[in-house]
Amino acid sequence: MTPRKYAALSEAHDYAMKQREILFAQLTAATINYSMSRPREPVGIASLMPSNWEIAPRRRRVSSKGVVAKLRAMVASYQQGYKAKP
């Protein structure tokens, strides 16, 4: 199989998968939106298509020194508040 044929088959497969996803997303959205316990805001088709889901970026790890510094500042502010009250 030549690279051109492979690319054409791959694109056709991707297109067919996208069309199937759209059909199932429309069916699922209609079922959810017109059910007995439907949501307040209608569910969109894009939220039900796995190909449109993005992987959330990894959150940066917080250093323990930063957490300790914030905790100490919070405790100090509480202590000052109790000292001010008679």
Tokens, residue 58 = 């990894």
Q: What is the C-alpha to C-alpha distance for residues 44 and 52, in angstroms, rounded to an integer?
A: 12
Q: How would residue 80 be classed by pLDDT, with cut points 50, 70 and 90?
A: confident
One-letter amino acid identity for 66? G
Alpha-carbon radius of gyration of the chain: 27
The domain spans of the chain are 3-54+62-84
Q: How would residue 83 be classed by pLDDT, with cut points 50, 70 and 90?
A: low
Specify the pLDDT at position 60: 74
Phi and psi at 10, nearest 5°, equal -65, -45
pLDDT in tens, 22-78: 999 999 999 999 988 888 999 888 888 887 777 666 777 777 888 888 888 888 888
Burial, 55: exposed, middle or buried (Cβ in 10 Å; 0-12, 13-18, 19+)? exposed
